[in-house]
Amino acid sequence: MGIRVHSFAFIAATALTAGAAFAPAQVPLTLPQVSQKATVSQTIGLTEIAVTCHRPAVKGRAIWGGLVPYGKVWRAGANENTTISFTSPVTVGGKELPAGTYGLHVLPTEHEWTFILSNVSWAWGSFTYDPAEDAVRVAATPAAAPFLEHLEYTLDAPGRDRVLVTLHWENRQASFPVEVKTDDVVLASIRRELRSLPRFSWQGWDQAAQYCAQNKVDLDEGLTWADRSLSMNENMTNLMTKAALLEAKGDAAQAATLRAKGLGIGNETQVNQYGYQLLGAGKVGDAIAVFAKNVKDHPQSWNVYDSLAEAQAAKGDTAAAIANYAKARSMAPAAQYDRIDGELAKLRKK
């Protein structure tokens, strides 16, 4: 009997010891952070640029030269690394960087800041920052700025090939540019997509050729793409695309031949769209000629008179524009009256 009691006591003691040894580790709850997380992004061409940070507040403290000391690398935000990411290769500070995510730090002094992009993007703040891991450094001049309680990044002055990354906090801000070779990125994307479903339609090849024509890039490959589109379905749209490519290469005669052929087979809608392309390119006289042809070919359509009037108004030929808007209104559905009346009123005031 005594032996059995001793056995139970031993088992109980062992269980208590085991329970203490295998108690689960503390798992913190997910709660709001004082410096809340934010992401700002901007697409340049096909390249997405994004900055992610935690936004500390001023809270009445002196920031520059105080909370953020001069001459020391700072995390450019709060908590873990502030990061900047690119979906395509970019150029920062004259150096091309591969697509990816980089840690963003700042080395501030009173008169100059240095933005640092680090190949390490997963650290906590700048506590383990190592200059040997720098991807690039960019000098920037800080400027006075309106007071801002919470640190903020903005992506300013976005253009076709560049954007400014701006850090603004308290009463100071500074920026550095990120540059993108948009045509290279787009052409690489086009080549990739033309190996997928877009390759099976004339429209896919034509869109690729149109990009080359509109941006005056890779004209020879654009002609190859235009010919592929024409071999699948010759129509006004892709004839005009090839004509634009030939003109860009200096072959005006062959371009004119193709345009004449395209206009000869185009329907009312296609010819009208081409006229608006010319109008948008500032070729007002050429647009008027195209719209006038559509009027001649489709005299029962109110829309062709409306388009011709718009081009004539753009040229400053007020009398002709009024006459053609009036003709369009006499034939148009009632839903168009208010718009056309508005155009006529503006012209009659001149």
Where residue 312 sits, what CATH number does that domain have? 1.25.40
Cα–Cα distances in Å, from 32 out to 29, 37, 60, 80, 82? 10, 10, 22, 15, 18
pLDDT score for 21: 53
345 domain-assigned: yes
> Which positions of the chain have pLDDT values less than 50?
1-19
pLDDT score for 27: 86
Percent of the chain at pLDDT > 70 equals 93
β-pairing, 113-118 vs 90-92, is unpaired
Helix/strand/coil for 148: strand
204 domain-assigned: yes
pLDDT score for 26: 83
* Listed residue (80, 144, 76, 168) closest to 115, CA to CA: 76
Are residue 234 and residue 310 in the same domain, yes or no? no
Both tokens of 10, joined, read 């031993």
Are residue 204 and residue 316 in the same domain, yes or no? no
pLDDT score for 16: 43
pLDDT score for 9: 45
How many CB atoms neighbour CB 162 within 10 A? 15
130 domain-assigned: yes
pLDDT score for 25: 76
pLDDT score for 23: 59
19 domain-assigned: no
Are residue 157 and residue 216 in the same domain, yes or no? no
Both tokens of 212, joined, read 């080359």
Domain boundary among 180, 196, 219: 180
pLDDT score for 10: 44
Average pLDDT over the chain, rounded to whole? 93
Domain boundary among 130, 146, 180: 180
Q: Is the dihedral of CA 70, 62, 165, 101 positive or negative?
A: positive
Cα–Cα distances in Å, from 234 out to 126, 145, 205, 231, 271? 60, 58, 12, 7, 15
22 domain-assigned: no
Are residue 314 and residue 241 in the same domain, yes or no? no
Query: In whole angstroms, what is the distance from residue 268 CA to residue 48 CA?
Result: 39
Residues 175-224: tens digit of each pLDDT: 999 999 999 999 999 999 999 999 999 999 999 999 999 999 999 999 99
Are residue 59 and residue 191 in the same domain, yes or no? no
pLDDT score for 24: 66
Domain that includes residue 239, residue range: 181-266
